[in-house]
Amino acid sequence: MDVLLLQAVKSVATADVNSSINYLPIVLQLLVAIGIVVLMMTGTHLLGPKRKTEDKLKNFESGIDAVGNARQPMAIKYFLVAILFVLFDVEVIFFYPYAVNFRALGWEGFLAVLGFVGFFLVGFIYIIKKGALSWED
Amino acid sequence: MNVTQILFWLLSALTVFSALVVITRKNPVYSVLWLIITFISISGHYILLNAQFLAVVNVIVYAGAIMVLFLFVIMLMNLNADAEPQKNKWLQFAGVIAGGCLALVIIAALKNVDAKARIAETGSDIGLIENLGKVLFTQYVLPFEISSVLFLSAMVGAVVIGKKN
């Protein structure tokens, strides 16, 4: 198994796809991603010129002058959309173990999932009817 | 020490350290960001236990979605410096007492546990997605259906609380 060349998956795939060792490439990718960010940040910090004028230190807001305070309470509509997203997110996650066992479970599993999705559909119709996702009041 | 043990200790240290940073930061946004690191290192523990579905769900739902909700909650509050809550000495004292009592109870409860009997089988395949799906859709199909009712109630609750009329 050649860890450094990321070829572990290919050689192991036929024998045992599901062992924890196969997550090593993901860990390596994570480390490379973090490493690049750290390298870039420290590199620019050390190499770049520092001219601290008032204009340079100002917060950048797409070129226009900064207006008002960023620390103000925001509308609860965002929260409502986010929490509804989380619920449907979890619904989709339950499809994953079903999709893996799709053939083995047959019609019985299909009906179980259909009932599960049916409840969510009722909730979705409720949300649409209540206008919870419409942005303008 | 083999690789698994080294990884376990690294992840444990990272988890405890980031969890401590979460509760010591003054700025709640930093706390949330460190909480993401805590969740991701707990996901690493799940992968070491071969519970891969749990690890993936933990990253997607907790580190992804729930943390966004946490950030929204923080942004719903007023975080200006003058709006900082007054630090009450007695409140802090009571918090230390209450937390100390909880720690005492947990330590006392864990002291009598036979740890050898509770060790998870790291080599087992019970946490894999395929096996989990088989058990979930045959043996535990009723709790699975009931969980959708729970989601329905959560939706209704969120809409009722969040929507004006």
**CATH code assigned at B66:** 1.20.120.1200
Q: Do B69 and A84 touch (CB under 8 A)?
A: no
CA distance B84 to B79: 7
Same domain? For B113 and B38 the reply is yes
A90 contacts on B by Cβ (under 8 Å): 61, 151
Same domain? For B75 and B11 the reply is yes
Region of residue B50 (left: phi > 0; alpha: psi -120 to 50; beta: else):
left
The predicted pLDDT at position B122 comes to 55
Q: Do A18 and B125 touch (CB under 8 A)?
A: yes
CB A83 within 8 A of CB B156: no
B109: distance to nearest CA of chain A, Å? 32
The predicted pLDDT at position A117 comes to 92
**Matching residue, tokens 């969510």:** A120
B65 vs A77, A78, A85: nearest CB: A85
- Report which of B42, B17, B38, B33 is spatially closest to residue B67, judged by C-alpha positions: B33
Give the chain B residue whose CA is nearest to the CA of A130. B159
B85: in domain: no
DSSP bridge pairs for A64: A61
The predicted pLDDT at position A38 comes to 96
Which residue has better confidence, A14 or B150?
Answer: B150
CATH topology of domain A2-130: Methane Monooxygenase Hydroxylase; Chain G, domain 1 (1.20.58)
B134 contacts on A by Cβ (under 8 Å): 101, 104-105
Same domain? For B51 and B61 the reply is yes
A1: distance to nearest CA of chain B, Å? 15
A20 vs B48, B144, B156: nearest CB: B48
Residue A61 is given by DSSP the state B
Dihedral over Cα of A33, B72, A78, B158: its sign: positive
Dihedral over Cα of A26, A27, A28, A30: its sign: positive
End-to-end CA distance of chain B: 61
DSSP bridge pairs for A61: A64
The predicted pLDDT at position B68 comes to 82
Region of residue B71 (left: phi > 0; alpha: psi -120 to 50; beta: else):
alpha
Query: Which ipTM value was assigned to this complex?
Result: 0.71
A105 vs B78, B129, B137: nearest CB: B137
In the numeric block, which tokens belong to residue A137?
């009041």
Across chain A, which has 137 residues, the per-10-residue mean pLDDT values are 42 52 84 95 90 82 78 78 87 88 86 91 91 79
Same domain? For B49 and B101 the reply is yes
Domain borders along chain A are 2-130
Q: Do B152 and A119 touch (CB under 8 A)?
A: yes
Q: Which chain A residues in 27-66 lie under 8 Å from chain B, judged by CB atoms?
A: none
CB B127 within 8 A of CB B50: yes
CB atoms within 10 A of CB B142: 9
Residue B139 is given by DSSP the state T
Confidence of residue B165 (pLDDT cuts 50, 70, 90): low
Q: Tally the domains of chain B.
A: 2
Q: What's chain A's Rg over C-alpha atoms?
A: 25
Residue A75 is given by DSSP the state -
User: Which domain covers residue B138, as residue numbers?
Assistant: 128-165
pTM: 0.73
B151 vs A77, A113, A120: nearest CB: A120
The predicted pLDDT at position B86 comes to 65
Same domain? For B101 and B148 the reply is no
Dihedral over Cα of A96, A99, A104, A108: its sign: positive
A45: distance to nearest CA of chain B, Å? 22
